[in-house]
Each structure stands twice: as structure tokens, then as C-alpha cells.
Chains A and B, each alone.
Chain A
Amino acid sequence: MKAFKNFHPVSLAVYFLSVLTVLMFTKNPVLQAEALVGAALFLGALQGVGTLLSDAPFYLALFAMTALTNPLFSHNGVTPLFFMNGNPVTLEALLYGVSLAATVIGALILCRCFCDVMTSDKILYLAMAASPKFSLVLSMALRFIPMLVKRFHRVERAQRTMGLYSGKSVSDRVKFHVRVFLSMIPWTLENAMETSASMRARGYGKYIKRAEKIKNGKNVKNVKCEKKKRTNFSLFKFTPRDAALIFVCLLSFGISLLGEAFFSVGFEYYPRLGALRLTAWSAAVYAVFGAVTFMPFLIEVKEALVWKYCVSKI
């Protein structure tokens, strides 16, 4: 059930960015509903229905809180429902609160999907595009941190058997941890030196000397130092499938924003609720954005069905 994860990191990043941006900018209830339901189904497909159900109360509570807070503070709108402390609670403000809540919860759920899908190696790959060196440093940090934690625990346990500062008082406990923590610093430096030796031994940061001798002279000083370009390897392959995903995402992103700005996809709550008009353009936006938001879920479901079908054939 991890079909969507297998897309290229760039495609995945484009997907999340495009959906999140549209969700953040739109006030159109149809688009919001599509994004919210699509994201929820996506999360369900990724982490199982059980996780989704167990998390549902949290999301519902947050949803209700956000939706109800807005009308308490915003009194815009022309349709008062009732008065509280002399202030009108309006229908428009209430509905705007619901819309706000849909945006917040939708973005939250999408971010959880993002964390699940974008594993560290995908993030590293994306960072590589920005700066290969930064990406390498990040990778080394990801290697180093678990090692440091393990070392910390090892020293902690060893120190405990020495019977030092093992009283129950707060000062003893603080002292105990501080001295273990301080001992990590020289260890880190020592470790860094050995790691850098290992990097150099494998040719990192090596200058390739290219002697460009002048034809007639024997000027040894005239040696041009040129750093050989380091390449960056990754296991990801960019396939037509990835290109297609990017294309669809950009298409939905483009027409949604254009529709929002010019073609009657925009929606207003204040002072009075706008009307949802169904034009050719808006229908196209609803269809394409809907397709994009439901796609991860559909892909996972399709994959599951294909798998079942294959198994039943065996």
C-alpha cells in the first residue's frame, strides 16, 4: 500500500506544494471540501483506517474550536443569528469559521501525509538540488545523531555502575547528566577527526593537479589546481509517470489560481455570502483539483486491488 511513496521526490514535492498552496488561498467551499476529504482518505490509506479513526476526535475537536471561535470575535456579515453580550453572531462569520477550520485541518492532515511520504532520503535528495554540500552535511548529521545518542546511553550506564552522583536529590541528578553530557564533546571531536580521515581516504575534497607545462619552458610552478567536480548519486529515477504527476499538479494549480482570480471560482463570505456559480471554467477547476486531491487515495486503492487480483490469480 505504498504506491504513492514510490514517486520521484520532485514530483511528490510539487504535489504537496501545489495542493497546499491552493488550499491556503482558496475560500471556495467545494475546493476546500475536496482537499479535506482527499487528504483524510490519503492519510487513511497511508496509516490505516485505525489510526485515522483514533485521531478523528482530535481533528474534530480542533475543527469545532476553530469554527466556533471566529464568530465570537468577528461580527461582520449581514445575517445575525442571535446577539451575545450585545454583539451580533452572524451566519457569515460562522460559515467563515468553518471554512477557516477546513483549511487548517486540511493543511494539518496533508502535512502528516507529507511526513509519512517524504522520508529522510527524499528530503536529502531535494536538499541536494538546493546545495549538494548542505545535503551531505545533513546526511552526515543523520548518521551522527543516533551514534551520539547510543554513546550517551552507554556512558550513562557505565557511570551509573561507578556509583557516582547516584543519589535521588536534584543536584545529584543534574550533576550526573551534566558530566556525561560534557564528556560527549571531546568524543564528538575525536569522532569527527576519524570521520574526516575516512572521507579524505576516499578522495573527498581532493584537488586534481593538472600540470599544464608550457611547451618550451619547464616551469614547475605553473601547475593549475582544479577541483574535480563531485557528482551526486541517488537511487531515484525520474520516469514518465513522475512527469505526468508534475504535469497534472501544475495544471490544477494553474487553472485553480486563474479561476480564483478571474473566472468565478472565487468565493466571498463578507459582507454577504457569495454564490457558487457553475461555469465551464469552474467545473474544470473542480474536476481537475478533485482528481489531484483524490489521486493518492485512488492510487493506493488501485494498487491494493491489483495486488489482490494478482494474489487470487496465483
Chain B
Amino acid sequence: MEILRVENLSFRYPNGEGESDFALSDINFSVSRGEFVVLCGVSGCGKTTLLRLIKKECAPAGEKSGRIFYNGVPLEDTENAGEIGFVGQNPECGIVTDKVWHELAFGLENMGLSTDAIRRRVGETASFFGIQSIFRKKTDELSGGQKQLLNLASVMVMGPKLLLLDEPTSRLDPIAAADFISTLQKLNRETGLSIILSEHRLEEVLPTADRVILMENGKILICDAPRKIGERLAEENSRHPMMRAMPSAVRIYRGLDMRGESPLTVREGRDFLLNNFSGAARSDKDFCGGEAKEIKEAKEKESERTAENKKSRRDFGVLAAEMKNVWFRYGRALPDVLRGVSFDVRRGEAFCILGGNGVGKTTALNVLAGLDRAYRGSVSVNGKRISEYRGASLYRENLAYLPQDTSALFVKDTVIEDLCEIFSMAGVKKSDREALAAELAKKAGLSHLLRRHPYDVSGGEMQRLALCKVLISKPKILLLDEPTIGLDAFSKDELRNIIKGLKSDGVAVLAVTHDAEFAAECADRCALFFDGEILSVAEPSLFFSENNFYTTAANRIARDIWKDAVTCGEVVRRCKEYCGS
């Protein structure tokens, strides 16, 4: 039985004029009861608009045609706001009240339920979502993941039949995001809830989805089962930007031009490789003849690699920044966050620090950026101790810092005012500033954003603008805090290209990230941060192949055959090599 049907839906925002300005055009689809539908597409393709139109209380103003039916009734005639639940992108903004229990009760209060009824439903919901332990806490004490889970719970407490989620995990770290997704799967499986989820991180979501709707320019491009989406996408356009967003198994499968239903999970992908390419692993062994030789060879390789590593380290040239045995804590009575951190970054290299949540990665960046002061150890930037920099000299043509929340870099009403201000600090004449800013934006392909308010640009665009802004001061070292959070695959690619360009200009890039895929593809060296210190530093292929858990999906798929293949491209290349030989 279908719970939602969308017929010929078109929508245009009030400022849109021509035919091309339709945010949505001619959307047709239906969702049956208990179905888990994933909505994907590059940012700006109309996913959010579509979801908001289905939730009539959140519908944007504009010109709408076509019809939406909920349970066979036109959406306008439905009465109960609790029937269709909506969870937005920003975990902060969804929360209304100051206490967790009050937040859970908020929707039920609006429904006019009695105190006893509310007490029961709130208790039951809190138990299901496992948030009893935070029940009496203040909402601003929660972590991002807990906040988003609370948002979900306070919508689910009203007992919706259809749940709409607009990129709910885009601001969460991968671990919290995976928790959130698994809660959604539990809801779908155990309560038969119908879910429409828009998402750009498809690796975890796609395997449990019943159907995928892929949108492009306000139209539905593909609507099919997850296993067929890879092939259908290739039929449309083999170089479609969404291909990069697909799970690693699909990307490897498609990279080898295989036909038919694709594997989705790491397990299926690994089985596929083992069935077809296990010869590659065996032939290696046969060639070496026995295990002893294999180990010997591995050791040889290892020493070769370290030698190479040393050589390449020398090639990287001058030291850009260095931390030696740095200790830091936020307060006298608080525990140490950094416990003897030592590392160095050289010019022209990208250094990625990976690690879980709250282990102190960002704190290390803050100390390096001079925002927090270490109480023991030495921090130097460009050969000068950080305490020797006076005033803003550390930030002039020297060090730039891109925080996780890039919007914090913009304080004016339009983007161009913010850029001009930086030029004014550099001593550029007033008449030249705007021209310089415009030229800069043109180079980065961001000219159309200059007159906008910083809050009116998308996450990917915001980040490019922010990078543009911090690079005006021509830094020699760039610090990035979680640069890939909230970015779609397309924006990630762009970021990678920017970093590549910076590297060739001799800039040292230090990124702190959760994103193993990103680190594998763009870093020259990776390090694991745990318990306040840096544990291992190595080039990505060695770093990830040594890890059992903290590694890329592509590496998990291929590690039984090629232990050191860490990116999808690498796996595909080796498969093709094997086929060729």
C-alpha cells in the first residue's frame, strides 16, 4: 500500500523567472508503506526543496503545481502535524527547549496530550532510542550526535508514519553518523516506518535502502533499486559526478565495467574480488615460493619503503611547522588533552591526522595556530617559536587556519565586504579592493556568490569561499579542521584539487580529519592521533594497510588480495593490470 504519492510536482522559488529556474520540475514517484527510500544528487539538485514540500509545515514559499497525496488524501487536507516527521540538517537548530525531557515532550504538548500520556510516551521513546542517561541533561551539554538523535527521538515521539530526513548526518563525524543511520535502520526494520532520507554519504546507507532516487537539476534522473543504480548511472553518463559518491564496492565494480547487479557492502565487494581476482594473490605467493620467502620479501619491501620515505622526506624540503613533546590542558584541574605530541610538517606536503572524536586533534591544531598555549614542549612555525610572534605576524603570509565551521570566518553582510576587509589589512587602496576581490573570486569560479549573504551559500561553496579568504594572506602553512564534514563527493574532489595546487606551490597542508577515504587520496603522510599523542606516521598505503579497523572501505574490500591498495582507483588499476597480464 502506498503512503505517499507525488504527481507532476513542479516548484519555482519567488525570485526564479525563466523555464530553467524551476527548483523542481515534473517530479513523479510514490513511496509504499515501510519503504526506505534514499534521495541523492549533487548539492543544489532540489532534494531539500522536495522534502520540505512534502512536509507542508516547512514548505518554502513559491509557485507550486502538481499534487502530493499522503495516504490517498491530498496533503493540504491532512490535519495532524505528527503524521509526517521531519528532521533537518543542523542538529543545533532543531532543538527548541533547554532540557532533554522537555524537548521530547514538546511535540506532545502541542498535540494537547495529558501529562500522564506524555510521561508514558516520552519514557517509552527515550528507552527505545537509548537516551535515558541524558534524559535530565541540558540540551546544550550534548554532543552533535546526541543532539541529532534527540531531534529524531522528539519527532518519533509523536508517532509519525512517514519520516523525512534532510541530510541528517552531514554535520556529524563518521562514528556518530553511522550510529544515527543504524538507528534509522532499526526504526525501519522493527517498526515498519516509511523513511525518505536525503544523504550524500552513501557508503552505509545504500545497502539497507529499498530504493534510490537520484535527482539532477530538479528532475528525477534515476529511481531504482540500489544494486542497479551503478549500471543505470553509467548508462546515463559514465562520468557522472554522482559516481564518486557511490559506495566503494559499486565504484570498483563499475570501474571494471561489470554489468548487472552490483555488490553494495564491503563483504559483497570482497567476495566479488575474491571470486574473480584471487589469482592475483595466489600468483604472488607461488612466485615467492613459501611463506618464509614471503615474509623476507615483505621485510625487504618495508626497508626499501622506509628508505624511499626518508628520501622523499628530504625532497619535501624545509620544515614548515613542528611540535615537540607538547602538553596541553584546558584548566588546572582538568585532564591533559595533549600528552607529548610531536610531529612536523614540511613545505609542499599534505599531512593528515586521523582519529576518533574528542581525542584532541582539534586542540593540537589550535595550539599550532596560537589560539591555545601549551604548558610544556615547543611549537615552532617556519623555524620560529610561536611565542616569538608578536601581534598578528603569525597570521600574515605565514599560517592560515580553516576552522570546522567555516561560516565563522565571515562576519559581514556580503561575501565581498569580507574579502575587501582582508585586502584592506594588506594595505591595498580602497579603490582597488573590490576589483581584487572580484578577480580572486573569478579565479576560483565563485563570482556569482560575491553579493550574497554568507549564510545563503551552500556548504561546499561556503568552504571554497572560506579557503579563498584565508589564502589571500598567502600562507606558507594551511591548517584544516575536518575539511570534508558536510561536503558532497563533488566538493571533496574540488577540495582535493585545491590542496594539490597548494602543494605544488610549496604550501604545507595539515589536515585533521575523520575521513579515511579523503586522507588516503590526498595525503602524503598520515598519522593516528589517540589518547593525546600521535601514534604512527606513515604514507597512506602503508598506514592504512597496517590498520585493521581504521582504514578505507576500498582497502577492506581488497586487503585479502592487495594489502596496500587503499583507494578505489588503486584497486581498479590493479584489477586491470592483473587482467592484462
Contacts and interface: CB of A to CB of B under 8 A. Distances in A.
Contact of B108 (A143, A191, A206, A233): A233
Contacts of B138: 146
Q: Range of interface residues on chain A?
A: 35 or more
Contacts, number: 165
A164 B97 contact: no
A115 B486 CA distance: 42
B412 A183 contact: yes
Interface string A151-186: 100110111111110111000000000011011001
B96 A158 contact: no
A299 B213 CA distance: 63
A143 B470 CA distance: 32
Nearest to A138: B98
B328 interface: no
A164 B423 CA distance: 11
B112 A231 contact: yes
A158 B80 CA distance: 43
Contacts of A206: 57, 81, 110
A140 B97 contact: yes
A202 B408 contact: no
Given A154-B405, A198-B96, A208-B79, A168 B391 contact: yes
A121 interface: yes
Contact of A201 (B57, B95, B371, B405): B57
A204 B97 CA distance: 13
A166 B389 CA distance: 12
A164 B425 contact: yes
A143 B140 contact: yes
Interface of chain A: mostly helix, strand, loop or mixed: helix
A179 B411 contact: yes
Contacts of B188: none
Given A143-B95, A180-B411, A230 B110 contact: yes
Contacts of B425: 163-164
A24 B473 CA distance: 65
Interface stretch (B258-266, B298-306, B379-387, B395-403): B395-403
Interface string A111-123: 0000000001100
Contacts of B474: none
A157 B365 CA distance: 12
B43 interface: no
A197 interface: yes
A198 to B, nearest CB: 5
B115 A231 contact: yes
A182 B119 CA distance: 42
A216 interface: no
Contacts of A163: 392, 394-396, 425, 473
**Residue in B58, B98, B109 whose Cβ sees the most chain A Cβ within 10 Å:** B98
Contact of A191 (B93, B109, B405, B470): B93
Contacts of A143: 95-98, 139-140
Contact of A121 (B79, B99, B392, B453): B99
Contact of A140 (B85, B96, B119, B412): B96
Nearest to A234: B115
A106 B119 CA distance: 39
B140 A146 contact: yes
Nearest to A197: B58
Given A163-B395, A203-B158, A233 B102 contact: yes
A194 B158 contact: no
Contact of A202 (B115, B154, B405): B154
Contact of A195 (B93, B109, B112): B93
B82 interface: yes
Nearest to B466: A158
Contact of A198 (B93, B102, B105, B394): B93
A154 B154 contact: no
A233 B403 contact: no
Interface in A131-152: 136, 139-140, 142-143, 146-147, 150-151
Contacts of B422: 162, 164
A203 B82 contact: yes
Contact of B391 (A140, A166, A232): A166
A140 B112 contact: no
A209 interface: yes
A277 B187 CA distance: 74
**Residue in A143, A182, A183, A206 whose Cβ sees the most chain B Cβ within 10 Å:** A143
B118 A197 contact: no
Contact of A161 (B90, B391, B400): B400
Interface string A58-96: 000000000000000000000000000000000000000
A201 B86 contact: yes
B564 to A, nearest CB: 37
Nearest to B139: A143
B112 A230 contact: yes
**Residue in A157, A163, A168, A202 whose Cβ sees the most chain B Cβ within 10 Å:** A202
A247 interface: no
Contacts of B151: 198
A96 B155 CA distance: 61
Contacts of A186: 413, 453, 455
B55 interface: yes
**Residue in B88, B119, B140, B412 whose Cβ sees the most chain A Cβ within 10 Å:** B140
A272 B223 CA distance: 96
Nearest to B472: A162
A233 B82 contact: no
Nearest to A166: B392
B140 A120 contact: no
B428 interface: no
A231 B118 contact: yes
Contact of A228 (B58, B94, B112, B403): B112
B113 A231 contact: yes
Contacts of A120: 98
Interface in A227-271: 228-235
**Residue in A195, A199, A231 whose Cβ sees the most chain B Cβ within 10 Å:** A231
A55 interface: no
A209 B400 CA distance: 57
A200 interface: yes
A202 B110 contact: yes
Nearest to B101: A235
A211 B422 CA distance: 60
A202 B455 contact: no
Contacts of A200: 57-58, 81
Contacts of B113: 231
Given A155-B411, A163-B473, A183-B411, A198 B94 contact: yes
B118 A233 contact: yes
A154 B403 CA distance: 9
A307 interface: no
Interface string A36-66: 0000000000000000000000000000000
A228 B113 CA distance: 11
Contact of B408 (A154, A191, A228, A232): A154
15 contacts: A139-B97, A143-B140, A147-B92, A158-B408, A159-B408, A161-B371, A163-B473, A182-B411, A183-B412, A199-B96, A200-B81, A202-B155, A203-B80, A206-B57, A231-B112
